[in-house]
Structure 1
Amino acid sequence: MSAITYHEACLDPNLFGPWFAAESWDTWRVIDKALFGLPLNDTELAVFTDLTGRTEAPTSPASEAWFVCGRRSGKDVKAASIAAYLATFGAETYGYLSKLVRGERGVVQVLAVDRDQAKVCLSYLKAFFEQPILRKTVKKETADGIDLKNGLGIEITTNDRRRVRGRTVVAVVFDEVAFWMSESSVNPDEEVYKAVKPAMATIPGAMLIGISSPHARKGLLYRKWKANYGKAGNVLVVQAPTWQMNLTLSRDSELIAEAYKDDPSSAAAEYGAEFRTDIEAFVSLDVVEACVTAGVFERAYDPQHKYVAFADPSGGSVDAYTLGIGHREGKRIVLDAVRERKPPFSPEAVTSEYAGLLKAYGISEVHGDRYAGEFPRELYRNSGITYRLSEKVRSDLYLNFLPALNSGVVDLLDNPKLVSQIVGLERRVARGGKESIDHAPGGHDDIANAVAGVVSLLDLKAPAPSPYSVPYGRTGGTSAYSIPTGRNDPYTRLDNMLAEAARTSQR
């Protein structure tokens, strides 16, 4: 296979030309050269400076490249084409194959934000290899990529650090990395990055590319942008709005103009490629981990405590159905149990199951999300549990949750998904100045919402409950309640009445 540059491949009608030959890709052509250290003319250098903040063009291929580009910039098709090139022509040009020992299999990976995005990239990849020249290099197609006759494989899958461990990675593309989410990881982008770097260590010239629209000022993409934008070196950072990368869309196009009119902050990120300044992290990982009791996954019922519960019901087709149970111990708020049922499921069956758990903790009523509608109330009623609508909306529950986390008075269970969801929450400030808290795009917060509801029910401002026992007639049994006591409060009066009744019955 004769040597050909990526820039040339994107113009060749027998390779990637059918996708990238149009003039609308002219800006990308400058990046195609800069990425691999090819010379730029004066016009191209001016474009390069505008995109990168660097006045001198690179003279060698980048070890890492981070493309911060607006939506509709052609990121997915570019990601797939770079992977296809590096596994074929690039593998020979940059000597990847010579670095593999006998029996070692090298891979070029495209790690996508989710399964749907992976399917899009995989579709582009397989379309490239329908070109006759590239078709000759294929050994076989797999469920998530292509195995090549040169011994390399191309894998397109979702982001998961386990997919890179144990492999020799000759090149990798992080697609839409600013939006990576994981139920088992707080920072999947950083964790995958830390996992993939050792997998590339034995391949000199191995290339890592991150390509994404920007989001909040946090995470791997923002960290790389902040550290390397406008600076010389082998880490290339490109930042460009949609209309600069896709010349078929102008800044004044109906799509983009309407987006800026509806939500300027969101549009500036999605199309203007600017990191959002109106979004901040809700709470740090260190703060949440300090509230977790390691190795405690659930706490058994203890009759000396009075328990409360909060549910986040779901219809069973989209969102998870979650439940949290907790109690107070002096000034501490203790989480005892969490449940999550992911769709699909029967709301009736899950409600019945949760009702059984509530009764096991001596709970006769559960509070829940007001947006769930009327159906949870009826389902819980059928199971002998009263369902009460929460007085607070979700965002307010989180605002109430934050002081408990920061002060360390909440005792959380060792549940990685719960920790991930709490840390993944974001604080947003709307144009009118109103603050809201919600999960990031593509994220989930169903478990976090149920736990925040429990904390709200056990509000820190409420007086600490004092357990006491009420005798029950001749049985000699006791029932422990955690309710406030005082000389004239209704509970004390009720206690006195019950005690008098018990004495009368024993006479």
Structure 2
Amino acid sequence: MNIIEAIKDPQLLGSFIGTDLASWQPWLAALRTLYGLPVVNRTARHIVADCTGRNVNTLPPGGFDAALFLTGRRSGKSRIAATVAAYEAVLAGHYTRLAPGERGVVPVVAPTMAQGRIVRDYCRAIFETPLFKRELERETKSGFSLRCGTRIEILAGDYRTIRGYTLLAAVVDEACFFGTDAETRSRTDTELMRAIRPALATTGGKLVCISSPYARKGWCWQQYVRHHANPKGQVLVWNASSRTMNPTLPEHVVVTALAEDKHAARSEYLGEWRDDVADYITRAVLDPLVIEGCSERMPRKGTKYTAFVDMSGGRGDDAALAIAHKEQQNVVIDYARSWSPPFNPSAVVDAMAVDLRRYGCRRVTGDNYAAEFVSSAFTRNGIRYKRAEQPKSGLYTELLPLLCSGCVELLDQAKLLDQLASLERRTRAGGKDIIDHPRGGHDDLANVVAGVAAVTSKPVRLVGAMF
């Protein structure tokens, strides 16, 4: 049974997708293309040609082993991801390739746990349908074990957990956003694909990636450049707007989004790559500056330390503190720590003050936008709080030349390095550049390291001194 037949069968995937398939026709055309099924409807053929940039008559008759669907938000991406995963695990016949006692895995990989839960909920709904319910052996914390000997595993962005599995197929949701969130353990989509592709080699399983397009970098961007509109492309690259794939999405939603933020909306709803986003600091710059195995340096007598803090209200963002000193022309990062919410801001300031006193710091510089209670809390602990002279985007601007010239020694902390490497430069109206964390990401540790580097690197001015 092919996937289109399963979707049309009300006892199978049809009871999940729904009996009215009119609004799902673009996705059915996409799935027909992926699986090498005939596309005979004239409207569907036009959709395939528009979204792939290829002649329908010259598409591979056997379909594709790998596909990248680049579609806008509210287009049904996560629902299709769950549909493909369930079909591959139950109906594609992969269990015939398994040795006795061997369990094949169909992983559904998402950048974060929150995104993974969305796909998981859709999978759970599939296994409540009449015939699929019979195949469910048990639901586990991480996925679904099936009677046919296969398993659907919901994974959140960790390339390491892929290794060692027998993969029958792999579905990657929001593939363009790996490495954009501190929760994501895969630094880039490229890193994740390097783990997935070998695990599919012996089974010949499909790799299906579904995402809104984002920055012009990484594996997804490379696949788009190499295979979209390429008549000989070996990867199916499908690029479409939200309303192309989901005609029921109200037009005013897209119009409003475009009016609020043109660059973001063109990516999120029109399926276009962002041209205002670029990497700011690369791993090639960071890696040589890391002192391997050193996550913190102990205080030394006779050394003058400086400190920078980034506070929060204790609900949404981390609070963070960094301490550094200067050796000749180099800024040496000695300490960097973050506190994850929820927390009591006053208690965190008290904890910070303990470490500040360990390093002999009686003054700390902090966020321009910190509330007055922050200054009062540090004063209560005998620490003078000074507001930073510039916002974090300016601090990042000063950090880059220090890094590129090799004048910073970094701690070996994965969270810190991930945040620095994920920083993005965005061009705003008027040509002004802003450096910040990616959508949904965090940069609290990166911010305090940039801040303490800026403060430490400034020359000390002695009033009245003769030169």
Question: Which residue is 2:6 aligned to?
Answer: 9
Residue 375 of structure 1 pairs with residue 370 of structure 2: no
Query: Are residues 272 and 286 of structure 1, via their aligned partners in 2, closer, same or farther at CA, if it must alter by over 3 Å?
Result: same
Query: Are residues 149 and 223 of structure 1, via their aligned partners in 2, closer, same or farther at CA, if it must alter by over 3 Å?
Result: same
Residue 394 of structure 1 pairs with residue 396 of structure 2: no
Question: Which residue is 1:302 aligned to?
Answer: 300
Identity %: 39
State the alpha-carbon separation in 2 of the partners of residues 420 and 102 from structure 1.
41
Question: Which residue is 2:209 aligned to?
Answer: 210
CA shift, 1:23, in A, is 0.8
CA shift, 1:184, in A, is 7.2
Paired AA for residue 414 in structure 2? P
In the superposition, the TM-score normalised over structure 2's length comes to: 0.94
Q: Secondary structure of the residue that 2:429 maps to in structure 1?
A: coil
Query: Are residues 492 and 380 of structure 1, via their aligned partners in 2, closer, same or farther at CA, if it must alter by over 3 Å?
Result: farther
Q: Secondary structure of the residue that 2:154 maps to in structure 1?
A: strand
Please say which of residues 286-295 and 443-452 is displaced more in the overlay. Answer: 286-295
CA shift, 1:47, in A, is 2.1
Residue 196 of structure 1 pairs with residue 193 of structure 2: no
Question: Which residue is 1:499 aligned to?
Answer: none
State the alpha-carbon separation in 2 of the partners of residues 10 and 76 from structure 1.
16
State the alpha-carbon separation in 2 of the partners of residues 326 and 130 from structure 1.
56
Query: Are residues 406 and 453 of structure 1, via their aligned partners in 2, closer, same or farther at CA, if it must alter by over 3 Å?
Result: same
State the alpha-carbon separation in 2 of the partners of residues 116 and 337 from structure 1.
31
Residue 86 of structure 1 pairs with residue 83 of structure 2: no
Question: Which residue is 1:187 aligned to?
Answer: 187
Paired AA for residue 190 in structure 2? E
Q: Indicate conservation of the 8 Å contact 1:183/1:420, yes or no.
A: no
Question: Which residue is 2:49 aligned to?
Answer: 49
State the alpha-carbon separation in 1 of the partners of residues 140 and 359 from structure 2.
50
Q: 1:362 aligns with which of 356, 360, 363?
A: 360
State the alpha-carbon separation in 2 of the partners of residues 185 and 77 from structure 1.
24
Residue 238 of structure 1 pairs with residue 238 of structure 2: yes
1:96-134, CA deviations, whole angstroms, 9 ceiling, x for partnerless residues?
223222221111111122222222211111111222111
Paired AA for residue 447 in structure 2? N
Paired AA for residue 119 in structure 2? C
Question: Which residue is 1:504 aligned to?
Answer: none
* Structure 1 unmatched runs, 5+: 464-482, 494-507
Q: Indicate conservation of the 8 Å contact 2:112/2:184, yes or no.
A: no
Q: 1:421 aligns with which of 419, 422, 428?
A: 419
Q: Secondary structure of the residue that 2:430 maps to in structure 1?
A: coil
* Structure 2 unmatched runs, 5+: none
Paired AA for residue 16 in structure 1? L
Q: Indicate conservation of the 8 Å contact 2:321/2:352, yes or no.
A: yes
Q: Rg larger in 1 or in 2?
A: 1
What are the residue-to-residue correspondences of 1:163-174 with 2, within 5 Å? 163-174=161-172
State the alpha-carbon separation in 2 of the partners of residues 143 and 299 from structure 1.
39
CA shift, 1:242, in A, is 0.8
Residue 33 of structure 1 pairs with residue 32 of structure 2: yes
State the alpha-carbon separation in 2 of the partners of residues 88 and 98 from structure 1.
11
State the Cα RMSD in Å: 1.9
What are the residue-to-residue correspondences of 1:318-467 with 2, within 5 Å? 318-459=316-457, 462-463=458-459
Q: Indicate conservation of the 8 Å contact 1:185/1:417, yes or no.
A: no
Paired AA for residue 45 in structure 1? R
CA shift, 1:276, in A, is 0.4
CA shift, 1:169, in A, is 1.1
Residue 133 of structure 1 pairs with residue 131 of structure 2: yes
CA shift, 1:74, in A, is 0.3
CA shift, 1:178, in A, is 1.3
State the alpha-carbon separation in 2 of the partners of residues 184 and 295 from structure 1.
22
Q: Indicate conservation of the 8 Å contact 2:157/2:184, yes or no.
A: no
Paired AA for residue 216 in structure 2? R
In the superposition, the TM-score normalised over structure 1's length comes to: 0.87
Q: Secondary structure of the residue that 1:139 maps to in structure 2?
A: strand
CA shift, 1:42, in A, is 6.4
Please say which of residues 8-17 and 62-71 is displaced more in the overlay. Answer: 8-17
State the alpha-carbon separation in 1 of the partners of residues 464 and 310 from structure 2.
32
Question: Which residue is 1:67 aligned to?
Answer: 69
1:259-296, CA deviations, whole angstroms, 9 ceiling, x for partnerless residues?
11121111110011111001111111101112222222
CA shift, 1:427, in A, is 0.6
State the alpha-carbon separation in 1 of the partners of residues 314 and 276 from structure 2.
33
Paired AA for residue 193 in structure 2? Y
Please say which of residues 428-437 and 300-309 is displaced more in the overlay. Answer: 300-309
CA shift, 1:330, in A, is 2.0
Query: Are residues 484 and 329 of structure 1, via their aligned partners in 2, closer, same or farther at CA, if it must alter by over 3 Å?
Result: farther
Q: Indicate conservation of the 8 Å contact 1:306/1:327, yes or no.
A: yes
State the alpha-carbon separation in 2 of the partners of residues 423 and 385 from structure 1.
32
State the alpha-carbon separation in 1 of the partners of residues 184 and 49 from structure 2.
40
CA shift, 1:10, in A, is 1.6
State the alpha-carbon separation in 2 of the partners of residues 234 and 101 from structure 1.
30
1:206-256, CA deviations, whole angstroms, 9 ceiling, x for partnerless residues?
011110001111122212212221223441110001111111136xx1110
CA shift, 1:185, in A, is 4.7
State the alpha-carbon separation in 2 of the partners of residues 129 and 296 from structure 1.
48
